């Protein structure tokens, strides 16, 4: 499905397509880029995009954005996800960058933005805490003012790729007496500061993506406070708005569905009792994708006309994650007995994996994708948002 | 249809429960899974001493004489504690095949050893491309004097790296997908020409791809009537499904209990998770799923025990229904535990992974749903 594109936009799409085809590093085409690439490898594409000036489509031109229209940004999203390129680190480019250029001081902008664009700094997100879950305002990590510094104590968790990070942006409580949302501040913390410790969390798929981050008497310069003290919740919400766009993941789901169809053709003979079941299940997912893609295009067209998308991001998050979970479930199921094997990317010693290579990540993908309906505001929370914001319940 | 367990059966359940509670905590299991061997001979010895490895057999071999029920009792508890030792493979599959189909000589040669914990066995039936069709066999067995010569490959043989003996399906006549012409052979794991490539499974066990290259098996190693292997395996699968469903019920019981517990203690937005109606209804559905799974499992096990005709259709029905139910419970247990459910540290994910493996063993729910539909 395509947006009706003007000739300029069509030319832009062609330019993007050929740029990706010619420049995406072969080295990054591994079984599971999220877990299999080293920090340096995963930055290769980032650096190429930086040189091209395309690293931060969302950013205004004055801060280093490419100055694209909303339609162009959408084309970019669509083409990169269709091509299966590893997106530049969202915590840096999509999340903290816009917070800094929107709410930061000039000094902060000058210090941090160029290093985000170049990939010199790797950022991670210090939002979740043990016990906080989808209730982010329950932040307990404390920051106490001490002259020109804050002394930060607390425990952040589920911190994605903190093992690579140079900086962490944190929600911290600066006013314990205020209402939950009112006493929160937004701090930028150098991971090299004494008192910052990272401990890996291994997930059920055997991978090491997330971490605990412990903060013990960490001294953070007041100059690293974003905006005003106790106004952090405003910036946090602004950031979450960015997190939830492009959650539909149409390009990725389309790619995985195409692959699933190929695998079914090879693995399931037509006279297998479950062959018809697969056919029907796949057709259902395909229609789900089609309907979500049509919804996304409709919303993009409305946004281009200046219409507020409302809670569309929640809808994209719910359906996009459900669809991808379903595809990974089917892909695991279609592998039959080989679905018993798990590759264990993090320090596992499953050197030998049985069966054809296209099935080697089926189990870990199925397991890993369970997180999608939990993180970024669980799907239950997203349904609450729609119930409240759209249905007025 | 509620089962009234005999005093002896209740004793069996209590003694399994006590042993696992004392000696098979989740931490101990974690160490066992992480060990080089991947299973615990020490625990296997204890299972044997307690009589668990004999329980499903007839009285003659130290059992209760009501195989499916004893198996259900043990497997349900093993499911609750995520026991990785190969009770299923050695006792239920191999022991069951030998008891049901073996000659007197084979029964007396092997069952006391199995019941005494002296040997580990594994069943090698699946092949690349066979999916869940028991009769889809291209491994060949040809006669050579008094011996059979086996050649071919077997896939995803659970417990093979631990096994002393294997039961291997091979074709003695017919074409790859013919129902008839498959025979079963008892093969020594150390046989010349038999090669294993081992791997870890998602549920913390070990399995192997097996290559047989001119492996010589004496005619006395033929298990059951020549050429009748598919029908024999079908009966074996029915028993296996009874055991796997019981294990799934055990795992679901623990998942539901810990989810309910978590929902009462974990606070979000200032209140316990369990106060949210959407989650209450979810947990009610998980409860209903478990009740249905338990009922259907007991129904199947009673039918197996009575040797009723039509049990094979019921077995497929149970595999599908319990499989879907367990999958639902597993996925929702993770969802309701939030991030913690994704962590390898918590037991929830490990129950979920075992449920995923049970789903695959002997055919997934979609396969059995269709087999249920098409079996008269």
Q: Let me know if domain A247-389 sits in CATH 3.90.920.10.
A: no
The pLDDT, as a whole number, for residue A377 is 87
Are B246 and B360 in the same domain?
yes
**Mean pLDDT lowest among A34-38, A385-389, B222-226:** A34-38
Are B282 and B256 in the same domain?
yes
pLDDT reading at A221 higher than 70? yes
The pLDDT, as a whole number, for residue A338 is 96
pLDDT band at B238 (very low <50, low <70, confident <90, very high): very high
Are B83 and B108 in the same domain?
yes
* Boundary (domain end) residue, out of B119, B148, B171: B119
Cβ atoms A185, A207 nearer than 8 A: no
Percent share of chain B, pLDDT over 90: 94
User: Any chain A CB within 8 A of the CB of B132?
Assistant: yes
**What is the chain A residue with the closest CA to B125?**
A337
A123-230, superfamily in CATH? Butyryl-CoA Dehydrogenase, subunit A, domain 2 (2.40.110.10)
pLDDT band at A311 (very low <50, low <70, confident <90, very high): confident
pLDDT band at A304 (very low <50, low <70, confident <90, very high): confident
CA B21 to CA B7: how far, in whole Å? 21
Its domain, for residue B309, covers 230-374
pLDDT band at B1 (very low <50, low <70, confident <90, very high): low
CA B369 to CA B317: how far, in whole Å? 6
Are B278 and B369 in the same domain?
yes
Are B73 and B181 in the same domain?
no
Cβ atoms A107, A140 nearer than 8 A: no
The pLDDT, as a whole number, for residue A282 is 98
Are B173 and B155 in the same domain?
yes
pLDDT tens figures, B288-314: 999 999 999 999 999 999 988 889 999
Q: What is the mean pLDDT of residues B55-66?
A: 92
Domain boundaries, chain A: 7-88, 123-230, 247-389
Residue B131 lies in a domain: yes
Residue B298 lies in a domain: yes
Cβ atoms A184, A143 nearer than 8 A: no
User: Any chain A CB within 8 A of the CB of B280?
Assistant: no
Q: What is the mean pLDDT of residues B3-24?
A: 94
CA A177 to CA A155: how far, in whole Å? 20
The pLDDT, as a whole number, for residue A348 is 56
pLDDT band at B371 (very low <50, low <70, confident <90, very high): very high
Residue B164 lies in a domain: yes
Which CATH number belongs to the domain containing residue B152 in this structure? 2.40.110.10
User: Any chain B CB within 8 A of the CB of A267?
Assistant: yes
Q: B339 and A371 in contact by Cβ < 8 A? A: yes
Q: B131 and A272 in contact by Cβ < 8 A? A: yes
Which CATH number belongs to the domain containing residue B98 in this structure? 1.10.540.10
Highest mean pLDDT among A177-186, A289-298, B46-55, B263-272 belongs to B46-55
pLDDT band at B190 (very low <50, low <70, confident <90, very high): very high
CA A18 to CA A24: how far, in whole Å? 10
Which CATH number belongs to the domain containing residue B287 in this structure? 1.20.140.10
Task: Give how many domains chain B has, as a whole number.
Answer: 3
Q: Which helix (H) or strand (E) holds B271?
A: strand B271-272
Task: Count contacts between A and B (CB, < 8 Å).
Answer: 140
Q: A342 and B200 in contact by Cβ < 8 A? A: yes
CA B361 to CA A340: how far, in whole Å? 9
Are B163 and B246 in the same domain?
no
The pLDDT, as a whole number, for residue A321 is 96
Radius of gyration of chain A measured on its C-alpha atoms: 22
pLDDT band at A349 (very low <50, low <70, confident <90, very high): low
Residue whose tokens read 């004893």: B70
The pLDDT, as a whole number, for residue A1 is 64
Q: What is the mean pLDDT of residues B279-289?
A: 98
**DSSP for residue B173:** S
Q: Which helix (H) or strand (E) holds B184?
A: strand B182-188
| Nearest chain A CA: its distance from B339 CA (Å) | 7
The pLDDT, as a whole number, for residue A6 is 87
pLDDT tens figures, B141-155: 999 999 999 999 999
* Boundary (domain end) residue, out of B227, B245, B276: B227
pLDDT reading at A243 higher than 70? no
| Nearest chain B CA: its distance from A105 CA (Å) | 33
Q: A380 and B202 in contact by Cβ < 8 A? A: no
User: Any chain B CB within 8 A of the CB of A341?
Assistant: yes
* Boundary (domain end) residue, out of B227, B244, B269: B227
Are B43 and B114 in the same domain?
yes
CA A342 to CA A337: how far, in whole Å? 12
The pLDDT, as a whole number, for residue A248 is 87
Give the helix ranges, DSSP H, for B226-337. 229-265, 277-306, 311-337
pLDDT reading at A267 higher than 70? yes
pLDDT reading at A5 higher than 90? no
Cα(first)–Cα(last) distance of chain A, in Å?
34
The pLDDT, as a whole number, for residue A2 is 66
């Amino acid at each position: 499905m395509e947006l009706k594109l003007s000739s300029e936009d069509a030319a832009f799409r062609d330019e993007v397509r050929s740029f990706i085809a010619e420049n995406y590093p072969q080295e990054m085409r591994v079984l599971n880029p999220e877990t299999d690439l080293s920090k340096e490898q995963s930055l290769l594409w980032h650096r190429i995009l930086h040189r091209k000036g395309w690293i931060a489509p969302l950013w205004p031109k004055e801060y280093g954005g490419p100055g694209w229209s909303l339609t162009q940004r959408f084309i970019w999203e669509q083409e990169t996800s269709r091509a299966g390129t590893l997106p530049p680190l969202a915590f840096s480019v999509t999340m903290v960058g816009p917070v800094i250029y929107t709410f930061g001081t000039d000094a902060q902008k000058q210090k941090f933005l160029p290093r985000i664009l170049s990939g010199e700094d790797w950022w991670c997100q210090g939002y979740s805490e043990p016990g906080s879950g989808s209730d982010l305002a329950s932040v307990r990590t404390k920051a106490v003012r001490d002259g020109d510094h804050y002394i930060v104590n607390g425990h952040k968790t589920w911190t994605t790729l903190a093992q690579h990070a140079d900086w962490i942006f944190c929600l911290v409580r600066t006013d314990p007496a205020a209402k939950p949302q009112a006493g929160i501040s937004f701090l930028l913390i150098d991971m090299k500061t004494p008192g910052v410790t990272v401990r890996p969390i291994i997930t059920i798929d055997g991978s090491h993506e997330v971490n605990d981050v412990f903060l013990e008497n960490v001294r953070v310069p007041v100059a690293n406070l974003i905006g005003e003290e106790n106004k952090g919740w405003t910036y946090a919400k602004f950031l979450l708005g960015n997190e939830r766009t492009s959650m539909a993941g149409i390009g990725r789901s389309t790619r995985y569905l195409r692959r699933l169809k190929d695998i079914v053709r090879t693995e399931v003979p037509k006279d297998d009792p479950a062959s018809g079941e697969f056919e029907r299940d796949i057709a259902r997912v395909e229609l789900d994708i089609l309907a979500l893609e049509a919804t996304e295009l409709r919303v993009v067209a409305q946004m281009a006309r200046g219409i507020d998308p409302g809670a569309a991001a929640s809808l994209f998050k719910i359906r996009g994650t459900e669809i991808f979970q379903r595809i990974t479930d089917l892909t695991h199921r279609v592998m039959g007995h080989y679905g018993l094997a798990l590759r264990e990317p993090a320090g596992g010693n499953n050197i030998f994996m049985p069966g054809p290579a296209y099935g080697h990540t089926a189990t870990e993908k199925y397991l890993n994708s369970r997180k999608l309906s939990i993180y970024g505001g669980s799907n239950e929370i997203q349904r609450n948002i729609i119930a409240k914001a759209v249905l007025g319940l | 249809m509620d089962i009234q367990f005999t005093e002896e059966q209740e004793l069996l359940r209590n003694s399994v429960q006590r042993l696992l509670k004392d000696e098979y905590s989740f931490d101990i299991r974690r160490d066992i899974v992480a060990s080089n061997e991947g299973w615990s001979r020490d625990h296997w010895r204890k299972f044997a001493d307690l009589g668990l490895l004999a329980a499903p057999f007839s009285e003659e071999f130290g059992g209760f004489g009501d195989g499916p029920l004893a198996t259900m009792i043990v497997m349900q508890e093993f499911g609750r504690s995520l026991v990785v030792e190969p009770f299923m493979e050695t006792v239920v599959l191999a022991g069951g095949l030998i008891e049901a189909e073996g000659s007197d000589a084979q029964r007396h040669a092997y069952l006391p050893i199995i019941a005494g914990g002296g040997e580990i066995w594994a069943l090698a039936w699946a092949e690349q491309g066979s999916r869940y069709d028991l009769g889809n066999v291209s491994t060949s067995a040809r006669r050579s004097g008094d011996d059979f010569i086996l050649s071919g490959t077997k896939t995803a043989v659970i417990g093979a790296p631990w096994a002393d003996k294997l039961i291997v399906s091979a074709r003695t006549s017919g074409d790859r997908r013919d129902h008839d012409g498959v025979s079963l052979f008892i093969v020594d794991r150390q046989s010349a020409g038999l090669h294993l490539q081992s791997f870890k499974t998602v549920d913390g066990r070990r399995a192997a791809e097996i290559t047989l290259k001119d492996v010589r098996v004496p005619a006395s190693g033929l298990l059951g009537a020549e050429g009748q292997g598919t029908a024999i395996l079908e009966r074996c699968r029915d028993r296996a499904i009874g055991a796997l469903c019981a294990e799934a019920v055990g795992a679901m019981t623990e998942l539901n209990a810990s989810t309910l517990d978590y929902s009462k203690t974990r606070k979000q937005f200032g209140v316990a998770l369990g106060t949210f109606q959407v989650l209450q209804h979810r947990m009610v559905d998980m409860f209903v799923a478990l009740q249905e799974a338990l009922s259907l499992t007991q129904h199947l096990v009673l039918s197996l025990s009575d040797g009723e005709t039509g049990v094979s259709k019921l077995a497929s029905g149970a595999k599908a229904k319990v499989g879907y139910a367990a999958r639902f419970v597993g996925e929702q247990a993770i969802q309701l535990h939030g991030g913690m459910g994704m962590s390898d540290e918590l037991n929830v994910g490990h129950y979920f992974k075992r449920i995923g493996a049970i789903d695959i063993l002997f055919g997934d729910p979609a396969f059995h749903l269709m087999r249920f539909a098409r079996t008269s």
